Structure 1
Amino acid sequence: MNRPPTSAPGARGALSTHSVFGAPCWVSLTSRDLEATQDFYGAVLGWKWLRGALGDHFRTALVGGVPVAGIAAVASMWQMAVAWTPYFAVPSADEAASRARERGGTVAVGPISLPPGRAALLADRDGATFGIWEGELIGNWEAWRQAAPAFIRLHTRDAFDSAIFYGEILDWATDRPGACEVHYESGEVWLRNRGDVVARIESGALEAAPDPTIRPHWQVHFAVADVSACARAAEKHGGSVLRENAEEAVLRDPDGAQFTVTSRRER
């Protein structure tokens, strides 16, 4: 597990998950080949790299000097899936993990102490993987939100059931200061934080029965200036394009991890 922060949260004066919680606060990627991963995402998304505090297998991606994502080349070593994982800010990792267990979720790793905080890797009732982080966030959380993902989207079998599951774990739609708002918009459940859409949950048509063929998962969407240029760069550097239109493309990196590039106009 690539800890969400260091290289990211932990900067002096950073906000903590005790004041901002329930919203996505970091994304990380497990990979097999660190150098190939750096080359690919550097070419596709223009990322620069900072050596991670956890050792040679870890890197932090930078955009304009802002830490935006973590890379952990541990998929083979730790027998983990190659995938992008979002982390959500919580006031207490132990409490959130307990809530997940009580509601039928799975705690795969943790909670474990990773100064300056605590983290855990979980799966919801349908198997979608996500992380939680308790502690200091990146030094400028608003800068991370603008520089990194446009949003994350959960593809699942029942959007409303999933929204209830995550809401009860992450305190969505409560009266606590900083809590995320939940709305049904454009055929999806939308999560808003301070007015911005930070996550979406979709499961198809409103009255349709849950689709048993869907493999529930969180998809990370990165905001880019030129979707087509990113897709061509992905193909050139060993990745593939799964779907593409003028505003969005679903890409796969050379290790097999999927992510989406979304036009900044569509944020």
Structure 2
Amino acid sequence: MVLMAADVIGAPCWLSLTARDRLQAERFYGAVLGWSFRQGSFGRAFSVAEVDGVPVAGIGALAGELAVPVAWTPYFAVDDADTAVSRVRERGGTVGVGPVSFPPGGRAALVADREGATFGVWDGGVLAEWSVGERSPAWLELHTVNAFDAAIFYGEVLEWGKGGETEGACDVSFEEDRVVLRHHGTPVARLNSGPVEEAAPNPQLRPRWLVHFKVPDLDAAVAVALENGGSTADGPEEGGGPYVTIRDPDGGLFTLDTG
């Protein structure tokens, strides 16, 4: 079932990995997370990861072509990509790519917030089966200088906090030094204040969106990641249960989580 972005406005609606070597990425994530893959609709450089036939993420071998880092990027649903991009610019963010049209009728842009954390916006059809939880990412986490300032930026760009005004909109709550994003009452992301540096040589210390994937056995999943060319990445502890942050063979960061 396909919904329109306006039905889930402001919520995470897709996840993509910008890689250099698509086949290597497929082998790695297939081994670690049990994903299967099919070719995407945007050409040979793209593939779609699936679990039990349900799409969970996209992989595009575009890092070299676009001269961008290998990274996982969350996309958020918006009702109009051009308006969202204008809001990003007006509030001190930057636009890397787009809006670009994709068949059959969607439009996307790759942008960054004021601190340099990259994310995407999507205007078009979204998969009703895709949601933050068991099959898709278990959790999305923004590491930034000031979570409250970031919440204002994202709230204005993505129209968070308009649950009473816009059908399907997200709401935020301020909990100690964190901001929690909920969609229809379900937590889908957390914004954390912490020690980050925009120009830090270690990507683990830069402002960024970090994706958590849930696994049934953390030790076993980490072992498989290491056996397949990944490595563990040291970084600040952010709580939330047992987890390990991994760097894939191409350098992309993600987190394996049991909760």
User: What is the match of residue 55 of structure 2?
Assistant: 67
2:242 matches 1:247: yes
User: What is the match of residue 254 of structure 2?
Assistant: 259
Gaps of 5+ in 1: 1-12, 205-209
2:152 matches 1:157: no
**How far did residue 18 of structure 1 move?**
1.4
Pick the aligned partner of 1:193 from 183, 192, 195: 183
**How far did residue 215 of structure 1 move?**
1.4
Pick the aligned partner of 1:238 from 219, 229, 232: 229
Residues in 2 aligned to 1:132 and 1:168: alpha-carbon distance in whole angstroms: 13
TM-score w.r.t. length of structure 2: 0.90
Deviation per CA, 1:29-52, whole angstroms, max 9, x where unpaired?
Answer: 011111111110011000000111
Aligned length: 246
3-state SS of the aligned residue for 1:100? helix
Residues in 2 aligned to 1:44 and 1:248: alpha-carbon distance in whole angstroms: 14
**How far did residue 139 of structure 1 move?**
4.5
3-state SS of the aligned residue for 2:65? coil
User: What is the match of residue 215 of structure 2?
Assistant: 224
Contact 2:28 2:248 (C-alpha < 8 Å) held by counterparts: yes
Gaps of 5+ in 2: none
Contact 2:14 2:130 (C-alpha < 8 Å) held by counterparts: no
Contact 1:129 1:217 (C-alpha < 8 Å) held by counterparts: yes
3-state SS of the aligned residue for 1:149? coil
**How far did residue 145 of structure 1 move?**
4.5
3-state SS of the aligned residue for 1:147? coil
User: What is the match of residue 123 of structure 1?
Assistant: 112
Letter in 2 for 1:252: R
User: What is the match of residue 46 of structure 1?
Assistant: 34
TM-score w.r.t. length of structure 1: 0.87
Deviation per CA, 1:132-165, whole angstroms, max 9, x where unpaired?
Answer: 00010014235x7441101110000011000000
Residues in 2 aligned to 1:140 and 1:16: alpha-carbon distance in whole angstroms: 13
Q: 1:225 to 1:74 in 2, by over 3 A?
A: same
Deviation per CA, 1:236-262, whole angstroms, max 9, x where unpaired?
Answer: 000001259982110010000000011
3-state SS of the aligned residue for 1:77? helix
